[in-house]
Amino acid sequence: MTSRPWLEHYPEGVAADLGALGFDNIPAMIRHAASEYATTTAFTQCMPNGMNGSLSYAQVDALSDDFAAYLREVVGLAQGDRVAVQMPNCLSYPVVAFGVFKAGCVLVNTNPLYTASEMSKQFADSGAKALVVIDMFADRLPEVLPATDITTVVTVKIAEFFPPIIAGVIRMVQKVWNRSLPPVTVPHTGLQTALAEGRKRKSDTAAGDYLTGVGPDSLAALQYTGGTTGVAKGAMLSHGNLVANTRQMVTMCGTHMRAGVEVVLTALPLYHVFAFTVNLLGFYHLGARNILVPSPRPPSNLKRAFENYKITWLTGVNTLFNALLNERWFVDSPPRHLRASAAGGMALHESVAVRWREATGTPIVEGYGLTESSPVLTFNPLGGQGKDGSIGIPVPSTDVRCVDENGVETAVGTPGELLARGPQIMLGYWRKPDETAATLTDGWLRTGDIAQMDDEGYFTIVDRKKDMILVSGFNVYPNEIEECIAAMPGVTEVGVVGILDDTTGEAVRAYIVAENPPPTDAEVIAHCRQTLAGYKVPKSVRFVDELPKSPIGKILRRELRDSVTATIRSQPEDRS
């Protein structure tokens, strides 16, 4: 790339390049923040009814030291061993995640909604030796563990670190009212016990040894993604990748992110790379107070958080912002201290952006990234320079270009595959050299997305990855669902596509060719629920005589999607 026209639109004081990272690894960045903001509240977990618990920067630092010592001195893990973490947003998450990093181990983020089958595949592929899991989902473990290398299980309570009386009330509600606490029937250790054991064994000398040789190029996390093919792969994110992207994001926001002042509402799950880097690492680095909400559904779960805390920043996906705009309590009393909001994970609809600004009187900007880029690649500048419908401009130290099918850079305004290069680009895919070679070329990441750049250096996505479906910001890949449905008796062929949905942005629809008698819609959906996370389960099923195919017999999903659009357009207007 011969020019960077976007540099003209950087906020005042933002340099084109980051320069030195400043930290060799994530623990160094974490410890610096803990030293700077020791007495400041780092995390507050707010339940839907307002019950809450908090930890200061000093407490998170000490507790994560305890957990690091537990992993190394008690469990006996070595540098580079993988630790799977499976929990919703809660106070335990930063303690455990930071402890994994401080132990010199590798974090494997896992969606708590995964079924036993999905857990088994990810844990086996990563080679995780330890698992930290919320106790609400521990009933899946007897089926999961035999297929993995996991020998240590640590269980976490949702109200861990809450004041004792409040924690007791929440625990009682879970047991008696909600009945959401299954018995844990595998050998396990409670988090508090693990921390106590680690505290007895920790020493400053040993803690330093854990990180000997851990630098910017060392593996920090395996963040699983379908990439551009839909086959689950662990994106290898290094300490340098995550430190760089944290600093890129903070730098790009300029004076709109104030050190030691901001209060960010984290409704997106921390196991998702967007919230992981932006909310967890980014705002912690800034000395912000992070308000953790275990689940944003229904959106009324956020009401007490907005009422009880002076929220200055909110990150989310389009469906979250849209849902809040449809809540009377939010529109009638918008957050008075809000300064800005950032959207990612899926396209921000222009209508939602306009309504958000009208309702809150504050800016909302869209960014773009991939798991493979830690994730932020581009961002709309705050301060009136953003463009609705655009994914913005590249963050510092990042080059982005569009190329044609021959790899030649396209002209301004001409679509092409979006390629990116920068310090946030992953090391590669875990134990998948062929997939890595197909995705990384001479340092450039092939995103699989079609985009175009205008003459000011702003990029716009023209088309998403060919077959991927975005359900509430989560990537859903047809191959996995088709494989699941194809295993049903009587199913001959199946094609899966995404259809527009007012609630989730897109929803999954399955087209099936079946023998007589065919399975029912309900049977197909029930079958999928046994092995797939809820957001992957088809919302609708259609039985057809045949599926469109290419000359070599490949099912043409694009034609299926086009047929959906044509059907919608041909429906007569309802005049009743």
pLDDT tens across 64-83, in order? 999 999 999 999 999 999 99
pLDDT tens across 443-479, in order? 999 998 888 999 999 999 876 666 778 899 887 878 7
Taking CA atoms, 369 is separated from 165, 347, 356, 430, 484, in Å, by 42, 11, 22, 20, 29
Mean pLDDT within 412-433 = 96
Q: Is the pLDDT of residue 32 over 90?
A: yes
Mean pLDDT within 27-55 = 98
Q: Is the pLDDT of residue 17 over 90?
A: yes
pLDDT at position 573 is 45
Band (389; pLDDT cuts 50, 70, 90): confident
CA–CA distance, 258 with 533 (Å, rounded to integer):
38
pLDDT at position 567 is 61
Mean pLDDT within 372-395 = 91
pLDDT tens across 245-273, in order? 999 999 998 888 999 999 999 999 999 99
Paired strand residues for 474: 471
Give the chain's domains with CATH numbers: 50-214 (3.40.50.980), 469-570 (3.30.300.30)
Alpha-carbon Rg of the chain, whole angstroms?
Answer: 24
Mean pLDDT within 405-412 = 92
pLDDT at position 37 is 98
**Identity of the amino acid at 114:** Y
CA–CA distance, 193 with 342 (Å, rounded to integer):
38
pLDDT tens across 103-147, in order? 999 999 999 989 999 999 999 999 999 999 999 999 999 999 999
Mean pLDDT within 504-530 = 93
Band (2; pLDDT cuts 50, 70, 90): low
CA–CA distance, 13 with 356 (Å, rounded to integer):
28
pLDDT at position 574 is 43
Between 149 and 490, the more confident residue is 149
Q: Are strands 393-394 and 376-379 parallel, antiparallel or unpaired?
A: antiparallel
Q: Is the pLDDT of residue 563 over 60?
A: yes
Angle at 118 between CA 115 and CA 122, to 5 degrees: 140
Q: Poorest-confidence range of 166-175, 296-305, 382-391, 484-493? A: 382-391
